[in-house]
Amino acid sequence: MLKKERQAYILHRLNLHNKVLSTKLGADMKVSEDTVRRDLQELAQAGKLIKVHGGALSLAFNEVQFNSSTVYSQSQKAIIAQKAIGLIKEQMYVLTSGGTTIIEMAKQLPPHLKATFITGSIPVLNAYVSHPNINVIVVGDRVNKEARITVGASAIARIREVNADLCILGTNAIDLQRGITDSDWEVVELKKAMIAAAAKTVCLTIAEKLNSFEALQVCGLKQIDYLITELDPGDKLLRPYVKAGVTVL
């Protein structure tokens, strides 16, 4: 096997799997690991891949994984937030859960907007109260320290009394079969109540969380009216959700 051939093969494998192992390459190409190592070294020098201990990683892998600065997916979440804000009309009553995406949305609410927001999440609350025009209603009850959200029977009872126009949920995991799922029982109960109390349910999630799931179901896909991700609505990742009857924005 020629040197150029070998290196082409390495890049080929790299495109396929995003990673290669020196040992495996050596075995597959029937050359010594030293040779492979030298090849990897050259390719790394040429900027064709990223050399790591034990093998190499594709450049694409690195971009995807490490392009985030301080706040992960900040820009994606900003896009999602803007789309969600588009659904909120003047004088609406909006129920919102917690989560960084919701916080991002709260921060970006246009200053002139007059609407009423209802939440039990402390961090979201903090974002809302600095807005000049919106009304804020707090759902009271015991505070769940991990999620920093009010949970409990009273919170759920209060939410049941609400007739909101929108319920906007930050989502931990969403999946075609299982719908929205979460890991905290108390939070799940709360979200269920919020969905029941609103005319329309909006689900915010970064594309990464699509097709993942956790232990407890919040609701099925059918109960979701809008799904918002940072992707273009026509993206092929979203197609199954469109087929399932969800409006994707």
Contacting positions for DNA (CB under 7 A): 2-3, 6, 21-23, 31-35, 37-38, 41, 51-55, 132
Residues 59/67, Cβ–Cβ less than 8 Å: no
CB of 139 to a second copy, least distance (A): 5
Interacting partner of 68 out of DNA, a second copy, none (Cβ under 5 to 8 A depending on kind): a second copy
Interacting partner of 6 out of DNA, a second copy, none (Cβ under 5 to 8 A depending on kind): DNA
- From CA 42, how far away is CA 107, in angstroms rounded? 48
Distances, alpha carbon 186 to alpha carbons 120, 141, 150, 178, in Å: 12, 12, 9, 18
Interacting partner of 181 out of a second copy, DNA, none (Cβ under 5 to 8 A depending on kind): none
* Residue 204 or 225 with smaller CB distance to a second copy: 204
What are the b/e assignments for 222-246, b being 16+ CB within 10 Å?
A: ebbbbbbbbbeeeeeebeebeebeb
CB of 48 to DNA, least distance (A): 16
- From CA 180, how far away is CA 58, in angstroms rounded? 33
* Residue 34 or 135 with smaller CB distance to a second copy: 135
* Residue 84 or 139 with smaller CB distance to a second copy: 139
Residues 225/179, Cβ–Cβ less than 8 Å: no
Interacting partner of 163 out of DNA, a second copy, none (Cβ under 5 to 8 A depending on kind): none
61 burial via Cβ count (<10 Å: 0-12, 13-18, 19+): middle
CB of 62 to DNA, least distance (A): 16
Pairing label, strands 216-219, 198-204: unpaired
CB of 29 to DNA, least distance (A): 9
* Residue 54 or 140 with smaller CB distance to DNA: 54
- From CA 246, how far away is CA 202, in angstroms rounded? 10
Residue ranges that bind a second copy, judged by CB under 8 A? 2-5, 8, 11-12, 14-19, 21, 50, 52-55, 57-61, 63-66, 68, 70-73, 100, 103, 120, 122-123, 125-126, 128-129, 135-143, 145, 148, 150, 154-155, 158, 172, 183, 208-209, 212
Reading the block at residue 9, the tokens are 């093969």
Q: What is the DSSP string of 157-218?
A: HHHHT--EEEEEEE-SEEETTTEEEES-HHHHHHHHHHHHHEEEEEEE--GGGBT---SEEE
Interacting partner of 41 out of DNA, a second copy, none (Cβ under 5 to 8 A depending on kind): DNA
Interacting partner of 126 out of DNA, a second copy, none (Cβ under 5 to 8 A depending on kind): a second copy
